[in-house]
Amino acid sequence: MRHILFAAFFCNVFLGYVWAEVIAGVAIRVNSHAITIQEIKAAQEQFKVNKEQAIDMLINERLRDDEIERFKIKIDEFKIDDEISRIATSNGITKSALISKIAKEGMSYQAYRTELKKQLQTRELMQKILASNVSITDENELFAYYNKHKKEFDLPKSVNVTRYSSKSDALLQRAIKNPKKNIDGVEKTSEEISLHILNPQIAQVFITTPKNEFTPILNTGDGLFISFLIVEKKGNKLMSFEEAKPLINSRVVAQKEQTIIKNHFDKMRSSAKIVYVRK
């Protein structure tokens, strides 16, 4: 009889716990972390994904939080301040101007700092995961990639572009949305750019941007923002292995890093305790 009463008591406690989770809006538990129905809906809206994809993203986020805790990754306020200053400098604006821009985009400064902290934690976590895993890429591996992907290195010799430049990032973005419209404060200039004289990584921006589309906005560092509308790509030339080597190396390393990180979190996920409270 005592065993029956104990079992009934345990069952009631368990059901009470589950019911409390349901009342609280908890949909999934990942180890010690909860994922709520509201979080799933918010992720769907923010990232324009379906429910399953949103759940997958949130589970990975909770696993990342576990790893940040395991590696004892700490990001203090000074690191966040330094990162904000770095972002402002890279955009050619002051820290105050960056904060003002964030506010105009509808995000509070504190929310921005919180998001930045997550990014810094993730960056440091990735560095720790990769630190002892990425093997050195040798010449044979690079050459094998080159031979297998030669089409990637059969590139136009030059591109005809229209350069859009402005001292205002906002005005330049408006011009990009309305390329045929003349906007005060935005200058347009037609140019032909020879790609072989450019840094390979910069050349890739022009190579990968499709015809009739704009390159990402670049900051020249002297208060000027520029973007290029690709008008025409002219002539083709196969890059030599030596010319392509820096680019190949960055691609091969990036592929390795993606594989290592994916395998790391796949392993974590397979051993994680994931409980669906309700669907």
Cα–Cα distance, 124 to 114 (Å, whole number): 16
CATH architecture of the domain covering 23-72+247-278 = Orthogonal Bundle (1.10)
Q: How far apart are CA 222 and CA 189, in angstroms?
A: 18
Q: pLDDT tens digits for 190-199?
A: 999 998 788 8
Domain boundaries, the chain: 23-72+247-278, 146-238
pLDDT in tens, 17-61: 444 444 457 789 899 888 988 989 999 998 899 999 999 999 999
pLDDT digits (tens, 9 = 90+) for 107-165: 999 999 999 999 999 999 999 998 867 677 789 999 999 999 988 888 888 999 999 99
CA-derived radius of gyration, the chain: 26
∠ CA 231-235-238, rounded to 5°: 125
Between CA 148 and CA 145 the distance in angstroms is 5
Paired residues of 30 in beta bridges: 33, 274
Q: For 146-238, which CATH class?
A: alpha beta
Write down the pTM of the prediction.
0.68
Could you tell me which residues come within 8 angstroms of residue 272 by beta carbon, excluding any fewer than 6 positions away? Answer: 30, 31, 59, 63, 66
